[in-house]
Amino acid sequence: MKSKKSAGYDSISILLLKDLKAEICYPLSDLINQSLLTGIVPKCMKIAKVVPVCKSKDKNVLTNYRPISILPSIIQKYLSVSYNRLLSFLNLNGSLYQSQYGFRLGHSTVHATSELYLKFLILLKRTRTLLAFS
């Protein structure tokens, strides 16, 4: 996880969690494992702090702001662990579609574009026609 000073409503930053990792490692992993086993996420972990962030230079115009939701650092770690476990399970069991490129390590839109291009070339070679609709 990236070390950021920002913190959720609980005022616990990622930096603080990293500083206390020796003390909180086992309780935090117990909390995450219990949550994954039961499917229950404590309500206090679902609360986000919403902060306005300016998206352009003029800070005096209200429409130049967009909301950012800052989750508690513990739930960010929980989501990271959940994502890694789920992805590992799907990869080990071959459950992901071969042409699934998003959110996969070593796969990108370049791969998706190349695959589509090759399919077009094969279709063009086979039929000598290629239709496009807009």
pLDDT value for 23: 92
Query: Which residues are within 8 A (CB) of 56 and not within 5 positions of it... i.e. 6 or more apart?
Result: 64
pTM for this prediction: 0.62
pLDDT value for 26: 92
pLDDT value for 67: 95
The four Cα atoms 17, 20, 21, 22 give a dihedral, to 10 degrees, of -170
pLDDT value for 3: 56
Distance of CA 110 to the CA centre of its chain: 20
For 1-56, the pLDDT digits (tens) are 555 677 888 888 888 888 998 998 899 889 888 988 998 988 888 899 999 999 98
For 77-101, the pLDDT digits (tens) are 888 888 888 888 988 998 888 887 7
pLDDT value for 51: 92
Q: Which residue has the tokens 């590992």?
A: 88
pLDDT value for 2: 56
- State the average pLDDT for the chain: 85
